[in-house]
Structure 1
């Protein structure tokens, strides 16, 4: 893909994810929460220009730093996201004001890395940003699914009064 198409994919994914995450929404841990990040990583890694051919070491170091910043942003975003269970047993999430700070710091660090690359003359492809975004989304989704496990376990299992056997809770859908 061209750099412009990569940039458009990155912007579209960021806008979609950020807008959705700052609204309260049910967390569905049964779905394939890892699919979008894996597709983004695949698209990023299949590009030949992810490393600068003339500055391989510096380019690899910048790419590594970019991915580490992406992972740190994903972890920070997941830990600053509020997770709760409603009375009907549905687990909900909503990003907090601290999540905005995590995003601003992450973007600032990425801009700083890009500036450093420009100063030392390393060509940086948009694939590096796409790979870091994949890491951000994958780690955030994984941590949220992990954080939601105790909440979903309580919602799916219950014992009747005097009953020692745990049975699934039947939920009526209207």
Structure 2
């Protein structure tokens, strides 16, 4: 895939996900939340120049560092989601203003990693953006699912 198509896919996914997260919606804990991140990661990992061949070690450190910070941003995003039960006991979730700030923060962190790479003259594939997005979505969904289980444990008196 071309860099432009990777960026367009990433932007479309972000718009779709953020739009959904800001609306109150019933949380389906049986949903395959890992499917979209898996598809995005598979597309990203098909890129033969995910790591700049001219600067392999530096590029690998940049990718690893950016993915590590992405994990942190995904956790932060997952904690910004409001979780509650309705009168029927159904679990609901909705993003907050903090969710928007988490997204802005994630974009700024991603831009900072690209800036560091550019300063070091390391070519950074747009597939790294897609891989980061996949990881961000996976970590956020995992965090929300974990929080939902904790809510269920408290509800059933299983919390330690």
- Structure 2-normalised TM-score? 0.91
What whole-Å deviation, never above 9, does each CA across 1:70-91 have from its counterpart, x for those lacking one? 2111100001110111111211
> Following TM superposition, by how much is the alpha carbon of 1:69 offset from its aligned partner in structure 2, in angstroms?
2.0
Of Structure 1 and Structure 2, which has the larger fraction of its residues in helix?
A: 2
> Following TM superposition, by how much is the alpha carbon of 1:28 offset from its aligned partner in structure 2, in angstroms?
0.5
Q: Corresponding residue for 2:133?
A: 133
| Residue aligned with 1:48, SS | coil
Distance 1:51 1:89, change over 3 A: same
Rg larger in 1 or in 2? 1
Q: Corresponding residue for 1:50?
A: 50
Query: How far apart, in 1, do the equivalents of 2:138 and 2:56 lie?
Result: 26
Query: How far apart, in 2, do the equivalents of 1:72 and 1:66 lie?
Result: 10
What whole-Å deviation, never above 9, does each CA across 1:25-68 have from its counterpart, x for those lacking one? 11101111110011111111111111001000111111112211
Q: Corresponding residue for 2:34?
A: 34
Query: How far apart, in 1, do the equivalents of 2:77 and 2:89 lie?
Result: 24
Query: How far apart, in 2, do the equivalents of 1:69 and 1:6 lie?
Result: 21
> Is it true that 1:114 corresponds to 2:114 in the alignment?
yes
Return structure 1 stretches of 4+ with deviation > 3 angstroms: 150-155
| Residue aligned with 1:147, SS | helix
Q: Corresponding residue for 2:85?
A: 85
| Residue aligned with 2:49, SS | helix
CA RMSD of aligned residues (A): 1.6
| Residue aligned with 1:92, SS | strand
What whole-Å deviation, never above 9, does each CA across 1:72-116 have from its counterpart, x for those lacking one? 111000011101111112111111112222222221111111111
> Following TM superposition, by how much is the alpha carbon of 1:8 offset from its aligned partner in structure 2, in angstroms?
1.1
Q: Corresponding residue for 2:143?
A: 143
Give the unaligned 5+ runs of structure 2.
none
> Following TM superposition, by how much is the alpha carbon of 1:12 offset from its aligned partner in structure 2, in angstroms?
0.7
Pairs within 5 Å for 1:4-19: 4-19=4-19
User: Taking CA–CA contacts closer than 8 Å with sequence separation of 6 or more, which of the two structures ends up with the larger relative contact order?
Assistant: 2
